[in-house]
Amino acid sequence: MELSELFPLVQKPGRYTGGEYNICMKDKSAVNLRFAFCFPDSYEIGMSNLGLQVLYHCLNLAPDVWCERVFAPWPDMEDRMRENGVPLFAWESRDPIRTFDIVAFTLQYELCYSNVLNMLDLAGIPLLREERGEEDPIILGGGPCSYNPEPLADFFDVFSIGEGEEALPELADLLKRMKQEGRYTRAAFLREAARLEGFYVPSLYRAEYREDGTLASFSPTEEGVPAVVRKRVISDFNDPKYIPTKPFMPFIDTVQDRVTVEISRGCIRGCRFCQAGHVTRPLRERTPEVVDAAARETYRQTGYEEVSLCCLSVSDYCGIDELTDRLLAWTGEKKVNLSLPSMRADSFTKELMDRTSAVRSSGLTFAPEAGTQRLRDAINKRLTEEDLFHAVDLAFDYGKTSVKLYFMNGLPTETDDDIRGIADLGKKVIDRFYQNPNRNRKKPPSVTVSVACFVPKPFTPFQWEGQNSREELERKQQLLRESITSRKIRYHYHSADVSYLEAVFARGNRKLGKVLLRARKKGLRFDAWDEYFRFDEWMACFAEEGVDPDFFALREMGEEELLPWDFIDCGVTKAHLLRERRRAYEGSPTRNCKEGCSGCGADRFGECLCKKKNK
């Protein structure tokens, strides 16, 4: 059966038809390397991912490389494909991805690991790297989860550690050159790839364990393979060639339909739970001129009605006033909305409010993360109630009535008083609305309190911490529910079961590979989606393979213990992370990078913007 014949049999054919505006089409006979970029989640999620757009753009800059997109078919489509013998295909050419040179997966979230294996199986590619032959593609992984690649080490040939804009084309060039010179074998290629900066080849390393399950040693098996894999950082973040200004545009609604331009990487704050803020250092910014030019061209190529500025903390961007002035000079007259997400309450100003209110009025979102000042100091979230009240007062002055507040429960040193403090803070925001003489009197206020469960992540000061048990997290969720007495506060919380599994794979080692393989045999997939997540089946997989998931999620790791990800140099030093962990238990916040360097070590990878500002 032809692929197109399956479309009438599924719910959303637009997920699979391809042919979207601005996709890259090339002559197959004119390219020397084919690259399948796989997003292991639904089309709607993947098409909204900026990293996919960026790397697709960078790889396709080479005339003889063709990078195509691949998404996880929704279960209704997958079932039809399996019934009719249709293998997983690339969205541009419709060719089976098992015929490509490189099949790459972006690993954005641990709960997508089951989809990775399912997609390989659907493609007809052997799941285990040791079972692949010379004709099989190289399987490459990258993205945030590759900072601990060990749970997936049995399935991937290579991992890209760090930023891919220059690294992935370099890897593609190596493979092209070896094939053109007639010296390609899988083993030879992997040995040479391991010598490139920023690439980890798991088959060339050996992990040995103690009787208690902890890692005894981790070392390369061949000479010339680096003992430490240093993450890759692009040479010039401000170079416009890395910015995609002709993004592919979907035919159906996706999570985000807008112009998105990344304005900075890294973060000055150093929140002790945040992996992204640590692994993306050193802090770098694009100039207002480069961002504005990219936004203008992307708008011209797409016609989107919204421009969104992307970074970890947009209000910390040094040139935010100049940049918003430049953008508003043309977005206002074209009725294009300017969106400034990731704004911090302690750097939220009337000037920013003027700019964000210029086109449309909407609610605002802030992330206090903890309900009391004591706990905010412990996690280095240097935000006071006065900072938050100043921000919401400004919002209410401008007629806004909706505020979202993001928190975590299960944080290290947390007490029940900290949980009750979340409800108290929400109630105080409601009270501020009614105390504001400029408030909108036509619409009542609403505060949405959204609470995630703390998950210890590699390369954070809290990487050693054990997660609260599922029972304890659920008790705290119930305590908060009982503490919220105002009907104007809506309460949402994340599943403790999902967060537990996330922690297992975030801090796992190679022993989890056999669990993932059993999960594939049981048909587990789309674990990030409530309707497909089957926690009991996952627990059965651990039991059947004799692996204790509590060992990875709940156990406090020793500060002298060799961690599964210690062979990676992410920039921030382990000594810095240990200092920050101890300061957390002292309740001592650390100054942000603009106030002075904290000595995190990331400046080894290039001059950090904060150091330039402090000279």
DSSP string, 112-158: GHHHHHHHHHHHT--SSGGG--TTSPEEEEESGGGGS-GGGTTT-SE
Q: What are phi and psi of 403, to 5 degrees?
A: -130, 135
Tell me how far apart the alpha carbons of residues 322 and 478 are, in angstroms, rounded to a whole number: 46
CA distances for 168 relative to 8, 34, 382, angstroms: 37, 13, 37
d(CA 419, CA 259): 38
What confidence tens digit (pLDDT) does each residue in 200-233 have? 999 999 999 999 999 999 999 999 999 999 999 9
pLDDT tens digit string along 405-434?
999 999 999 999 999 999 999 999 999 999
Q: How confident is the model at residue 348 (pLDDT cuts 50, 70, 90)?
A: confident
The dihedral through the CA atoms of 43, 49, 55, 60 has a sign that is: positive
Would you call 352 helix, strand, or coil by DSSP?
helix
Taking the C-alpha atoms of residue 172 and residue 34, their distance in angstroms, rounded to an integer, is 9
pLDDT higher than threshold 80 for residue 342: no
Q: Tell me which long-range contacts 23-30 makes (C-beta under 8 A, separation of at least 24).
A: 23/69, 23/91, 23/92, 23/248, 24/56, 24/60, 24/66, 24/67, 24/68, 24/92, 25/92, 26/60, 26/66, 28/66, 28/93, 30/63, 30/64
Q: Please name the amino acid found at residue 535.
A: F
pLDDT tens digits for range 130-142: 999 999 999 999 9
DSSP letters of 432-459?
A: HHHH-TTS-TTS--EEEEEEEEP---TT
Q: How far is CA 29 from CA 59, 64, 66, in A?
A: 17, 9, 11
State the chain's maximal CA–CA distance in angstroms. Answer: 77
**Taking the domains of the chain in order of start, what are their residue ranges?**
3-230, 258-360+571-615
Phi, psi for 314 (deg, rounded to 5): -65, -30
**Beta strand segments in 143-256, E:** 158-160, 199-200, 205-209, 215-220, 229-230
Of the CA atoms within 13 Å of residue 453, those in its CB half-sphere come to: 25
- DSSP character for 500? H
Model pLDDT, residue 358: 44
pLDDT for the residue 479: 98
Residue 359 pLDDT more than 50? Answer: no
Cα angle for residues 516, 520, 526 (degrees, 5° grid): 95
- Give pTM, 2 decimals: 0.96
**Is 594:389 a contact under the CB 8 Å cutoff?**
no
Closest by CA to 213, choosing from 595, 525, 508, is 508
In the chain, count of helices (H) and strands (E)? 20, 19
Q: Rounded to an integer, what distance in angstroms lies between the CA atom of residue 173 and that of residue 64?
A: 10
Fold agreement between 3-230 and 258-360+571-615:
no
Q: CA-CA distance, 402 to 418, in Å (whole number)? A: 24
Cβ atoms of 231 and 198 closer than 8 Å: yes
Domain 3-230 in CATH 3.30.930.10? The answer is: no
In DSSP terms, which residues pair with 446 in a beta bridge? 402
Is-contact 62 172, C-beta < 8 A? yes
Residue range 164-177: mean pLDDT, rounded: 98
Indicate whether 363 pLDDT > 80: no
Peptide bond into 40 cis (omega under 30): no
Residue 2 has pLDDT above 90, yes or no: no
- Residue 129 reports pLDDT greater than 80: yes
CA nearest to 583, candidates 593, 595, 591? 591
**What is the CATH number assigned to the segment(s) 258-360+571-615?**
3.30.750.210
- Reported as a pLDDT band with limits 50, 70 and 90, residue 154 is very high
**Per DSSP, what are the bridge partners of residue 365?**
404
CA distances (Å), 462 to each of 77, 233, 268, in order?
40, 24, 18
Looking at residue 556, the DSSP 8-state letter turns out to be: P
